[in-house]
Structure 1
Amino acid sequence: MRLYELAEEYRRVIDAIEESDGELSPTLEADLDAIEGPFEAKIESCCALVDEFERDEEAAKKAADRLKKREVAFGNRAKRIRKYVQDCMERAGVKKVSRPGFSAWIQANNASAKWTGDPDAIPPEFMRWETSIKFDATSAIESWKAGEKLPEGVVVGQGTHLRIK
């Protein structure tokens, strides 16, 4: 099979992968394996696919970042205008304004409390104890690297990954 034929076959499989939202099903994996051609050409084509998908991913991230910045800007504008309206109503002593399109009113928040004194002097009736035990993965990995026997229930693994330049 010629390289351009390989490219056409790969393009057909790529289109199928994109239609399935990037999911490499067993059928599509078998289609990739079935394409005839030298092993190196298959690897090259797969690396080109990875490169294309990573560029698409980066473009999508940039678009999402731009949209996130717009989201934050719109939210900040709404907060500033809301605060402005509240300040105006409070200064005017107005509790409620009703119009055909909107109603606005001043409402009390839930009560809040905080301790500003010495943390060791909190009265017992206002204390809440919190105990938290967490697995220390860093210590487990250090023990594993040092060749120490790990207790039952501790599993340390190290995988591999592919690098493409």
Structure 2
Amino acid sequence: MTDNESKGIPNRLFFRLFQTGNVLQRQVQNEMGISTVQWAVLGALSRGGFEAGISFNQLTEYLFVSRQSLDGVLKRMERDNHVLRVPHPDDGRARLVKLTDQGRAYWESLQERIYQFYQQGLKGFSFDDSVNFLHYLNKLQHDLARIDLGHGHQAGMEEQAEV
């Protein structure tokens, strides 16, 4: 394998990941009628132990989304009466994001379609394939979260530009 071929594989892999994310977003919207972020918020808030809610900051960190993106999604979900923001009992300035009873009922009503979505989306995967794929996605997420090109990279780019 040539050096150019080996450099092309990561580019193809990350581009395919980008495409897959876009297909997922489109299919969730088309088939479920909600965005992937709304789906993730409902799923996160429906987990055991979060009945009283979760802080906005914790939710952004858990979902790996920006504050601005999450705020816009929560505003739409509040209008639909699926979530509400309540004062944090320990910090009056902070808010907890909480699933409403209507939001929980909505989440429950989606479960059969979610199961079918997963079944169809993973139909080409064996159980072992799914476990391995999850393992590799976890490794990729871990490594991506630790990327730090630092200022040394930027300085190198500036030096190259000056030559």
Task: Please state which band the TM-score falls in when normalised by the shorter chain.
Answer: under 0.3
More strand by share: 2
More helix by share: 2
Choose between structure 1 and 2 for higher RCO, CA contacts under 8 A separated by at least 6 residues: 2
TM-score, length of structure 1 as denominator length: 0.23
